[in-house]
Amino acid sequence: MNNNTIHSPYVNYGFQHEEQRPPPFTHGMYPTLQQYPGPQNPPSQHQSTSPPYPTERYSPAQSLHQYTPQTAPVNTHYTATPALQHAATPIHKGPRKRIWPCVLATVIVLLVVCAVIAVLIWYFGVFQCNERKCKADNLCISHSKWCNGVTDCLSGEDEAQCFRLYGSNFLLQMYSNESRTWTPVCSSKWSDDLGRQACEDIGYPRSTYVGYEEISTRSSLDYMMVKGDSHNFSSLNSTTQSFFTKSSECPSNRVVSLKCIDCGRNIESRIVGGTTVTSQGVWPWQVSLQISRKHLCGGSVITPYWILTAAHCVDKYSNPRQWTVFAGYLTQTEMRYTSGNTVDRIFKHNFDSKTNENDVALMKLNTPLTMTSGIRPVCLPNAGMYFSAPRDCYVTGWGSLYSGGPGSETLQQAKIQMIDSSTCNNRVVYNGQITKTMICAGKLEGGVDSCQGDSGGPLVTKENSLWWLVGDTSWGDGCASRNKPGVYGNVTYFLDWIHEQLQKY
């Protein structure tokens, strides 16, 4: 790592395609933090033997441009109605007289089929649902039935995600089907029983529940109020939503701040860009994802059961039994003498390997991690938190120290800066390839960056004394090159998808 601060968003060097792939290295196949020996004389970026596993960070400027878009085949066939044409011909006497009933029946059937098709086309193509539509089963239900404690969508989505946390102070909000807005929850009659259930509804296990605080709030037009005795909630067969009602007043004049998990805390250490991490617990959410004892990618602990990483890491290695997760270690040597944690399931977003859109995935472990000073979750951003350039961030990993080089034996860290998407989409940078699912970070002048082997690892920033997961290392053009900062998956953009998986599984 170079001590120069990176002035652009994090870089995730994704798969190296064809001649762009770096040679295999023993400690990792994916992007890691890049440190040039000096920004003026970066190592060659064209060393290119293909690794045994796909590398995480690749060079889209070259590889993607080799791809020739193919137009989806157009169906030029159409359905004719030969029976109608036949019916129009004269009917002769004699044996042909028996054909008439068949022809008539065929015509009737075709007319009925056409009518059904017309109705379906009208319903799905023209008809607009003026209420809310269940995505999974395409049902149109009234706004008043959302988050009312009764399941109306077959998938249950109308009663899912009715709670959310807002801002860096973890303000609890509930969706009001009357005002159709997210509304703060008054602290009057609130209890830990309701807190645990609300956290579970958001996607966190009861075992990680921390507690709640009552915080003063600016006057609000509406509040969600607990009705009845919330202390009896755990013994009643009721949904959480059924315990609330909308109110224009809050007797306590305070609202609920809910902490579902002890996240974002680390052992304080003097951190500089491009250096070796020498103390456990500085980045306690960083994990190594390995196949056959080979480091391939990084990842971030978000709960004791869940690891967030990049989709391209698991795109070709989707069998969870192939993977082992190592948490709480600084060196690759330490990991060789431990068993690690096995993976139960892998969930990949709708990843596009040609454009790197939606480069995020989740791993669920078979057994939970034991939380210690060296193993802790990073905070997922809450609703209303938007991280914009310029902002200092840190990226960590065991990736290559230069493009195409071997992976690092020891965990590396680098301080970089987020770079505005408009700058990254400039013709001389990434020429329009940065989408809303991506974040740029690094230095436009080069010198400090993530690299192969760092893929999937965390890009974090500090706010309100806690560390928040801004992105996962995704791709980049080379490592630490001028005008080629790192590109990361935009975790804030993926929040709904992430919580949806946590809730269902």
- Say how many Å lie between the first and final Cα of the chain, rounded: 39
What lies within 8 Å, CB to CB, of 468 at 6+ separation is 168, 264, 378, 379, 380, 381, 385, 387, 460, 461, 462
The single-letter DSSP state of residue 406 is: P
List the alpha helices (DSSP H) in 343-447: 421-424
In the chain, the largest separation of any two C-alpha atoms, in whole Å, equals 102
Residues 312, 421, 449, 477: which is the catalytic one? 312
Residues 158, 201, 359, 472: which is the catalytic one? 359
Residues 176, 187, 257, 455: which is the catalytic one? 455
Structure tokens at 156: 């249950």
Clarify whether 481 is annotated catalytic: no
Q: 270 burial class (0-12, 13-18, 19+ CB within 10 angstroms)?
A: exposed
Query: Do you find a cis peptide bond into 390, omega within 30 degrees of 0?
Result: yes
Clarify whether 257 is annotated catalytic: no
Which residue type sits at 462?
Answer: K
Q: Which residues of 98-109 are buried (b: 16+ CB within 10 A; e: fewer)?
A: eeeeebeebeee
CB 456 within 8 A of CB 473: yes
Clarify whether 27 is annotated catalytic: no
CB 155 within 8 A of CB 195: no
Residues tagged active-site? 312, 359, 455
